[in-house]
Amino acid sequence: MVPDPEIPVINIVELGIVREAKIINENSCEVIITPTYSACPAMFTIEEDIIKIMKENGWNAKVVTKMFPIWTTDWLTDEAREKLRVYGITPPEKGADEHHIGKPKKCPRCGSMNSKQISRFGSTLCKASYQCLDCLEPFDYFKCH
């Protein structure tokens, strides 16, 4: 599995970046990916990692990036959501939309909803920075789109 370069506790399949994989012939395949953000700086690394791991397993891989349908956090698996939480990143609720940004989020450390947004952008473009007002710990919230 190819880990996400920015969040190594989850892989790109769990994250929903890999949309499809097709066998072209006996040793060639095509992997279709969709970025979490159109300007995601990790996509080049992800493409290289896919090609490398496929080659190590005897496949010549072509990676195709498709921007439509637009990636959504609804594509995150339940396992990925839990891995994010354990890692210290609050995952988005299923079906959440951009109107959830700025509203209190559940602290992944103590479970309190008493939190505030510090910045709309966190450690990466796909996250916002929050602080728990009970345990005072900062945390990232994986933005919904």
Summarised one tens digit per residue, pLDDT across range 43-63 is 999 999 999 999 999 999 999
> What is the layout of strands, in order, in the sheet containing 28-33?
18-25, 28-33, 60-65
Contacts of 36 (CB under 8 A, 6+ apart): 15, 17, 71, 126, 145
Q: Is the pLDDT reported for residue 16 higher than 70?
A: yes
Output the pLDDT for position 22: 96
Percent of the chain with pLDDT over 70: 97
- Whether 20 has a pLDDT exceeding 70, the answer reads yes
Give the phi and the psi of residue 52 in degrees, each rounded to 5: -65, -50
Residues in Cβ contact with 17 at an 8 Å cutoff, skipping those fewer than 6 apart: 4, 33, 34, 35, 36, 46, 71
Structural domains of the chain ordered from first start: 1-71 (3.30.300.130), 81-142 (no CATH)
pLDDT at 96: 61
What was the pLDDT predicted at 40? 85
What is the pLDDT of the chain when averaged over all its residues?
Answer: 91
pLDDT (tens digit, 9 = 90+) per residue, 68-92? 998 888 899 999 999 999 999 999 8
